[in-house]
Structure 1
Amino acid sequence: MAHLSLGVLGATSSLGQALLEVISDSPLRLAALFPLILNDEEGMVEFRGEDHPEFNVEDFEWSQLRVLVNTLPDAKAVLDEAAAAGLIVIDLTGINPPGGKLAKGQVLSLPDPFAQQLATLVAPLAELGEVTQVTATGLLAVSTEGQAGIDALSGQTRALFAQTEHETAVYPKRIAYNVLGGFGVPDEGGATPEENAALALLKKQLPGDSVIDVSCVRTPHFFGHGASLTVRYAAPVEQDAIVAALKGGERVFMLQVAGEAGIAASQDAVGGDKVWVSRLRFAADGRGVTLWSVADNTRLPALAVLQLLTLIAAKE
């Protein structure tokens, strides 16, 4: 396999660290790694036992790279500049709507991690019969906002214990010991950007007349998205078929343990590569299933990037 020169904008972010960890554990070989930063103090990034210096994008020569992966918000101008220089650009932040091409001079925006989580489960279930309705509620971690969200939750928690003032710059209201019924500016229909991102991806998987409802809630925990998912069918589907489909689903892990130990928690999935599924409840009419799932919201997109990088390297 050919070697690849890779730049990671935000290599020290939670998503950037997950990406480097996933690549480090893979057979993919890099000719060079360039950790890039935006207006921060340059430091060092450890990768495969070696320290790599960070570079500010303002002074960086794009010709050194083949691919740029972005994990930082508010970097659209940098992505456009890198694409204009002929790089393959992969964005994980949702700066642009999901889509684009994996090609030189193009920006490919991957789906939101929560959308990926839902799609991973809906894909095998949709093969069992005509899906008429999907309803999902996501309990999303503050690492969705990167290090800023993590710092906001930890800082507010300390401030509450110390009985001092707390900042709310990242979130419109306090996130510590609180639940926010959405994040981001809702559209005219009341849907937030991350809800629309999930809707857009699920619509690609399902019949055009399927009813899809998605709600996203921001909860005060650091890592790991949780989701309650209900899928309804036009005709009855055997329970064993649903269980078998989920077991056979790509990157799906069925937790089958009796009692409370069989209820998956977000911490179970953190650091892993699977979408965990538990608490299957079947509709009385045989035409639906409700389940609970958890997944590492940083590793899912990191794994998707690894697949793309492997594909690029194979074509070199």
Structure 2
Amino acid sequence: MGYRVAVVGATGNVGREILNILAERQFPADEVAALASARSTGDVIDFGDSGTELKVKNLEHFDFEGWDIALFAAGSEVSKLHAPRAAAAGCTVIDNSSLYRMDPDVPLIVPEVNAEAIAGYRARNIIANPNCSTAQLVVALKPLHDAATIKRVVVATYQSVSGTGKAGMDELFEQSRNIFVGDSNEPKVYPKQIAFNVIPHAGDFLDDGSTTEEWKMVVETKKILDPRIKLTATCVRVPVFVCHSEAVNIEFENEITADEARAILREAPGVMVVDKREPGGYVTPVEAVGEYATYISRIREDSTVENGLSLWVVSDNLRKGAALNAVQIAELLGRKHLQKAA
């Protein structure tokens, strides 16, 4: 017997990707409900490439009683209203919003990194999914931390517009087109033009000059991986539709060479190393779209610190950064805790 699974925010970018991945990975679901707001109620969406279509149901009126897992992909306000309601009905919530990530009673999970922490879900019946830029970073850091103990990380992100949602993707497309034909390209979603530009600003500014996106990377990495790690981030929005990239500099307590790191990462779960020291011997966002792996390239030693490495990390933010990680959490939950499927 399989699970009854609800996908909240099923008509959005991440919600649709969750449905795709549930189908691709043949998640053991006897029934899948696609939930969204009233304006989408009655719409029909595909359940991946399975040939099955789902009629969208109104989240406001949905009864979670008797459902096993709810994957939320509709933002913090929706999660605030409906995640506790689902959890109280006995349906375990896996939430993609930022609402519960730093709640001490809610585990923040990346299955390749801290699978054992999922047992804490029983306190609230809620599990949090990390920020997309954090998820790919900790997948890369975990095996290196186990090998040589990370002291400090400096990361600069190159985040795609899909991280802002459909509106960000539409703005990049429309501005690019308008520039070519000579039409107005006034920004609406972003504070400055995103087409043919980069914007060193993601999230809201905090009193110390950092942004909320940068703060998330710091506190989430500490919660998931190790609270002793010092991390500083600069998050940059770039004119790429899908996939986040990161330039990562790491300082370790113990000695580790680039060759050792390369060998460790080749064996690490969820990681694909593509690192040839030649033109094109690295991964860019274009190659990573639609893929499950976190790709690591440009692994090299940093001679400016005693035990330092630099690397380049690329991952599909709609997949590993959100939908895939959520489904992997659901798979882990089923294997280790719910144990309902045959």
TM exceeding 0.5? yes
Q: Give the Cα–Cα distance (whole angstroms) in 2 for the partners of residues 167 and 8 of structure 1.
A: 35
2:179 to 147, 160, 181: 160
Q: Give the Cα–Cα distance (whole angstroms) in 2 for the partners of residues 226 and 166 of structure 1.
A: 26
Identify the residue that residue 51 of structure 1 maps to in structure 2.
53
Q: Give the Cα–Cα distance (whole angstroms) in 1 for the partners of residues 193 and 207 of structure 2.
A: 25
Kindly provide the CA deviation profile for residues 234-273 of structure 1, in whole angstroms up to 9, marking residues without a partner as x: 3432332211111111111111335212021011111111
Distance 1:27 1:39, change over 3 A: closer
Q: Give the Cα–Cα distance (whole angstroms) in 2 for the partners of residues 105 and 176 of structure 1.
A: 42
In the alignment, is the contact (CA less than 8 A) between 2:66 and 2:90 conserved in 1?
no
| Structure 1 residue 98: Cα displacement | 4.3
| Structure 1 residue 219: Cα displacement | 0.8
SS of 1:237 mapped into structure 2: coil
Q: Which moved more, 1:154-163 or 1:18-27?
A: 154-163
Identify the residue that residue 36 of structure 1 maps to in structure 2.
35
Q: Give the Cα–Cα distance (whole angstroms) in 1 for the partners of residues 69 and 236 of structure 2.
A: 33
In the alignment, is the contact (CA less than 8 A) between 2:204 and 2:213 conserved in 1?
no
In the alignment, is the contact (CA less than 8 A) between 1:139 and 1:218 conserved in 2?
yes
Identify the residue that residue 109 of structure 2 maps to in structure 1.
none
SS of 1:137 mapped into structure 2: strand
Distance 1:102 1:165, change over 3 A: farther
Kindly provide the CA deviation profile for residues 13-54 of structure 1, in whole angstroms up to 9, marking residues without a partner as x: 222222222211224221211111124233111112111101
SS of 1:128 mapped into structure 2: helix
Identify the residue that residue 89 of structure 1 maps to in structure 2.
93
Q: Which moved more, 1:86-95 or 1:96-105?
A: 96-105
Distance 1:105 1:31, change over 3 A: farther
Identify the residue that residue 18 of structure 1 maps to in structure 2.
17
Identify the residue that residue 66 of structure 1 maps to in structure 2.
68
| Structure 1 residue 138: Cα displacement | 0.6
SS of 1:102 mapped into structure 2: helix
In the alignment, is the contact (CA less than 8 A) between 1:119 and 1:201 conserved in 2?
no
Does 2:323 correspond to 1:302? yes
| Superposition pairs of residues 144-155 of structure 1, within 5 angstroms | 144-155=163-174
SS of 1:118 mapped into structure 2: helix
Count of residue pairs brought into register by the alignment = 314
| Superposition pairs of residues 283-302 of structure 1, within 5 angstroms | 283-284=302-303, 287-300=307-320, 301-302=322-323
Distance 1:69 1:138, change over 3 A: same
Q: Which runs of 4+ in 1 moved over 4 A?
A: none
In the alignment, is the contact (CA less than 8 A) between 1:87 and 1:104 conserved in 2?
no
Q: Give the Cα–Cα distance (whole angstroms) in 1 for the partners of residues 227 and 96 of structure 2.
A: 27
| Superposition pairs of residues 101-180 of structure 1, within 5 angstroms | 102-103=121-122, 106-166=125-185, 168-180=187-199
SS of 2:130 mapped into structure 1: coil
| Structure 1 residue 103: Cα displacement | 4.2
Distance 1:215 1:44, change over 3 A: same
| Structure 1 residue 279: Cα displacement | 1.3
Q: Give the Cα–Cα distance (whole angstroms) in 1 for the partners of residues 19 and 262 of structure 2.
A: 34
RMSD: 2.3
| Structure 1 residue 129: Cα displacement | 2.0
Percent of matched pairs sharing the same residue: 26
SS of 1:260 mapped into structure 2: coil
Structure 2 residue runs of 5 or longer lacking an equivalent are: 107-119
SS of 2:148 mapped into structure 1: coil
SS of 2:245 mapped into structure 1: strand
| Superposition pairs of residues 215-226 of structure 1, within 5 angstroms | 215-226=234-245
Q: Give the Cα–Cα distance (whole angstroms) in 1 for the partners of residues 293 and 234 of structure 2.
A: 22
Q: Give the Cα–Cα distance (whole angstroms) in 2 for the partners of residues 167 and 5 of structure 1.
A: 45
Kindly provide the CA deviation profile for residues 167-193 of structure 1, in whole angstroms up to 9, marking residues without a partner as x: 644222222222111122122222222
SS of 1:63 mapped into structure 2: coil
Distance 1:152 1:9, change over 3 A: farther
AA aligned to 2:85 is E
AA aligned to 2:55 is P
SS of 1:172 mapped into structure 2: coil
